[in-house]
Amino acid sequence: MKSMLETIKALAAAAGPSGAEDSLFKTVKMLVKESGAKVEKDKMGNIIVIKRGNRRGRVAFFTHNDEIGLIITKIDRDYLRFTEVGGYDEKVLLGQEVIVYGKKEIRGIIGAKPPHLQTKGESDKFLKFEDLYIDVGMKNKDILKYINVGDRVIIRSDFTEMKQNTVCVKALDNRASGATVLYMLKYLENVKNHPDVYLVLNSQEETTMAGSKVSAHAIDPDVAFVLDVTFAKQTGFEQGYPLDRIGFGMGANICKRIFDFVKKTADDNNVQYFIEPLPSMSGTDAYAVQTVKKGVTTMLISLPIRNMHSPVEIASVKTMEEASRFLSLLMSNIKTEEFKERILK
């Protein structure tokens, strides 16, 4: 297995806007090929890595493989109009370099009317999608050869290693969680007695949650852990969570008994964590997973990142690795039969 740094770098580099995540499959197969785990892709584009155990029970770890992106809505003479897929803030888009995935990959930049040409009132307002365009440096007749309405767009983002074991790149929501569950395979090699483990990278979490509904229904796990990112402390949001700790969700969308098991395991092993209160559904795949069939015992585990839903998300590689180790520890201790009777209590 590659290092955690190499794992997250490879996953973040893959382009996978919601509903067009196919390129991730090749990357995941490459990352886990030495582990002996089985890798599948279903009709919804979900990637499922299966590590068989020697104990009864099925435990699934669900993350999502899609990232936020853009979609072409109109070819406007020599420019491309677009909108978001999954939650980009217009304020971060101006001046970004992009890749348009048409009949071939085409580089472009996001532009708008220069400040020198703006009329009174224009310079005071926030730019909206209708004010922005993609310039690929081509004439209309050439654009029409390669690009169509509906083509997806990803913002280019260089992988940057920063101080204190942090990295900055696009798509850490949720490739950070994907790297965390895949890296479990390294630690599971030392766990002699664990149930069957399913590591799932779901499609379309940012838009429909359709991927998790399908994969959870097919796997029908005894216990499900959903991993996603949450908001780290940063300037302007001091109530955020520490970048170097793991989050345990607690609330209406979480099963209390599995929460208690996770918390006790963390306490017994000096794992640093925070509790994330969830007064309603969590806004993650946890809701979709929990409600398939007759209900699945579900727990949400969070990784804090800064600058969420931007091309410069920041996460701690050390925290990802610690989370992987902790998840494998849960697999050495879990008894799935203890969580079958009730979902919420």
138 occurs within a structural domain: yes
190 shares a domain with 142: no
Residue 164 lies in a domain: no
Residues 6 or more apart whose CB falls under 8 angstroms from that of 278 comprise 249, 250, 251, 252, 253, 254, 300
Note whether 90 and 63 are same-domain residues: no
Q: How many domains does the chain contain in total? A: 2
* SS3 of residue 162 by DSSP: coil
Q: Let me know whether 132 and 207 are in one domain.
A: no
CATH of the domain at 101: 2.40.30.40
Domain boundaries, position 17: 4-67+170-339
Res 149: pLDDT = 98
CATH number at residue 208: 3.40.630.10
Decide: pTM greater than 0.85.
yes
Residues 309 and 188 in one domain: yes
**Which two tokens mark 219?**
């796997």
The neighbour count for residue 330, using CB atoms within 10 Å, is 23
H helices within the chain, ranges in order? 4-13, 23-32, 140-146, 172-188, 210-219, 256-268, 285-290, 317-333
Residues 208 and 297 in one domain: yes
What are the pLDDT tens digits along the chain (345 aa)? 789 999 999 999 999 999 999 889 999 999 999 998 999 999 999 999 999 999 999 999 999 999 999 999 999 999 999 999 999 989 999 999 999 999 999 999 999 988 787 887 777 788 899 999 999 999 999 999 999 999 999 999 999 999 999 999 999 999 999 999 999 999 999 998 999 999 999 999 999 999 999 999 999 999 999 999 999 999 999 999 999 999 999 998 899 999 999 999 999 999 999 999 999 889 999 999 999 999 999 999 999 999 999 999 999 999 999 999 999 999 999 999 998 777 766
Q: How far is C-alpha 13 from the geometric centre of its chain's CA atoms?
A: 13
pLDDT at res. 212: 97
The answer to the question of residue 287 being in a domain is yes
- Please state, in angstroms and as integers, the Cα–Cα distance from residue 18 to each residue in 35, 45, 278, following that order: 28, 10, 25
Q: In this predicted structure, what is the pLDDT of residue 213?
A: 97
Clarify whether residues 25 and 124 are in a common domain: no
Contact in structure between 51 and 35 (CB atoms under 8 Å): yes
Token duo for residue 238: 């001091």
- H/E element, 195: strand 195-202
**247 and 276 share a domain?**
yes
